[in-house]
Amino acid sequence: MATLLTIVNIVLMLLLIIGLYTMQKKRASFSARVFTALGVGIVFGLILQFIYGAKSDVLDASIDWFNIVGQGYVKLLQMIVMPLVFISILGAFTKVKLSGNVGKISTLIIGILVGTTAVAAAIGIASAFAFNLEAVQIQQGQAETERAALLEQKLGDVQDMTLPQKIVELLPANPFLDFTGDRPTSTIAIVIFSAIIGIAFLGVKRKNPEQAEMFAKIVDTFYTIIMRVVTLILRLTPYGVLALMTKVTATSDYNAILKLGKFVVASYAALIVMFIIHLLLLAMAGLNPITYAKKSLPVLTFAFTSRTSAGALPLNIKTQTHKLGVPEGIANFAGSFGLSIGQNGCAGIYPAMLAVMIAPTAGIDPLTPSFILTLIVVVAISSFGVAGVGGGATFAALIVLSTMNLPVALAGLLISVEPLIDMGRTALNVSGSMTAGVLTSKVTKELDTDVFADTKQQHMEV
């Protein structure tokens, strides 16, 4: 009987997938398909949990099959992250207009990313105080206990490292190992490695322009092919979102989520405030923030539903260049740097809120100015090297909590609501990198304001 019910669930999932495919054939927009998948996945998951219960064997078997679509999609996204980051950074160096002011552009982008992350940390701290969040308010069940043990294991040698040693750990001793994503800091290591090659290219360009031109053509060819691979994978997004959301809603412990509801509300309050700050920064630069919000909606929707900043990179770059008027070189830099440096949501708001919540359990008063200032500085510095696909927020939290001498295991208390808040965090990360690209282009006077202001563009499709 259980096998028959599992088959019925699989058939229902296949019918929903066929429905999404029909929408695609009827030229429904990418955003419409993703939002439909999100809504249908939530409802389907809730129905499955209502019928079978979150811990039933039938549901476990069904989810196992759904994972072929959901986790398969995530695996494909993870597959392209390192090649995409590498070729995007390298491609940025080979753009002619970028060659003369690489230092200024990269400094501006990194400065904006890290600066906004420091602001995000301050907002996270304020939100934690405003909602009176404390770790002792959260009950610790079996899932939380297991998560705590896993976090302490993940921390490993990081806890014993000094801050300078953690900075050295970002460097690529073996870039081929980092291409496998073996280390938590692999993404920033690949960014550094590709930047070094890019700088070498600029040197060759001055002395041997013919060889440099040949290399630029090779890079451009690889860039085109990799972006095509990315496009093929992105077309699977609605199906992946459907399966992932079904799993999340079918297996979630809603009693635990209700108990942690205050943390979810506090998190989204901080995320919304930080997004408003992005809009205010654009307004201060003389740009229409409403135009930015409308044009960035598709990529922010993708980031929200897929929960991967790295997977959103192609849409991120395309939105910056085609809709917001950012030069391709700057867009590549901002998008790629934003995957591993200064993620406002995962590396800014989240670790800061956790630190404030956990501090009282270690006998520390989080209201003292010295604690708050130290936390903001630590969060900003620690925001280097945050991975763009899954686990980035956890790694950032581990670094911040260990540096502040706070117990990392207590971060596991929020496992029940992780998927829920990770959606908003990821969307904010992507908005932060796009804002950095637009602001940098504006400062360097390379922004095409006509493209930015054009509100008659067609919706971008995938």
- Residue 459, in any domain of the structure: no
17 vs 230: CA distance, rounded Å = 21
DSSP bridge partners of 389: 308
- Residue 193, in any domain of the structure: yes
Report the domain count for the chain: 1
Q: Under a CB-based contact definition with an 8 Å cutoff, are residues 23 and 33 in contact?
A: yes
- Residue 149, in any domain of the structure: yes
- Residue 206, in any domain of the structure: yes
Work out the number of other CB atoms within 10 angstroms of the CB of residue 149.
12
Residues 6+ positions from 247 with CB-CB distance below 8 Å = 45, 63, 66, 67, 70
- Residue 460, in any domain of the structure: no
> Tens of pLDDT along 213-270?
899 999 989 988 988 888 888 889 899 989 988 988 888 777 767 777 888 899 999 9
Residue 408 pLDDT grade (very low, low, confident, very high; cuts 50, 70, 90): confident
Burial of residue 258 (CB within 10 Å: 0-12, 13-18, 19+) is exposed
Among 85, 91, 92, smallest CA distance to 106 is for 92
> Tens of pLDDT along 38-96?
899 999 999 999 988 878 889 999 999 999 998 898 888 878 878 888 888 888 788 65
Q: What residue numbers bound the domain in which 360 lies?
A: 2-453
User: Sign of the C-alpha dihedral, residues 386, 391, 393, 398?
Assistant: negative
The torsion angle over the Cα atoms of residues 401, 74, 309 and 37, rounded to 10 degrees, is -120
166 vs 152: CA distance, rounded Å = 17
- CATH number for the domain including 204? 1.10.3860.10
Among all chains, which residue has been given the structure tokens 């690889």?
Answer: 222
- Residue 462, in any domain of the structure: no
Q: Which helix (H) or strand (E) holds 143?
A: helix 142-155
> Tens of pLDDT along 98-153?
555 777 888 899 999 999 999 999 999 999 999 988 876 555 555 555 554 555 55
- Residue 461, in any domain of the structure: no
- Residue 44, in any domain of the structure: yes
Angle between helices 261-284 and 289-306 (to 10 degrees): 140
